[in-house]
A and B are shown apart, each in its own frame.
Chain A
Amino acid sequence: GNSVTQMEGPVTLSEEAFLTINCTYTATGYPSLFWYVQYPGEGLQLLLKATKADDKGSNKGFEATYRKETTSFHLEKGSVQVSDSAVYFCALSGGGSSASKIIFGSGTRLSIRP
Chain B
Amino acid sequence: KAGVTQTPRYLIKTRGQQVTLSCSPISGHRSVSWYQQTPGQGLQFLFEYFSETQRNKGNFPGRFSGRQFSNSRSEMNVSTLELGDSALYLCASSLASGMETQYFGPGTRLLVL
Contacts and interface: CB of A to CB of B under 8 A. Distances in A.
Nearest to A89: B43
Interface in B40-54: 42-43, 45, 48, 50
Contacts of A98: 48, 55-56, 98
Contacts of A34: 100
Interface in A68-114: 89, 93-94, 98-107
Given A100-B55, A101-B56, A104-B43, A46 B94 contact: no
B101 A46 contact: yes
A17 interface: no
Contact of A45 (B33, B45, B55, B104): B104
A98 to B, nearest CB: 5
Contacts of B55: 98, 100
Interface of B: 4, 6, 31, 33, 35, 42-43, 45, 48, 50, 55-56, 58, 90, 92, 94, 97-107
Interface of A: 32, 34, 36, 42-46, 49, 51, 89, 93-94, 98-107
Given A43-B107, A46-B102, A100-B48, 14 more contacts: A42-B106, A43-B4, A44-B90, A49-B100, A51-B100, A98-B56, A99-B100, A100-B31, A100-B33, A100-B100, A101-B45, A102-B102, A105-B42, A106-B42
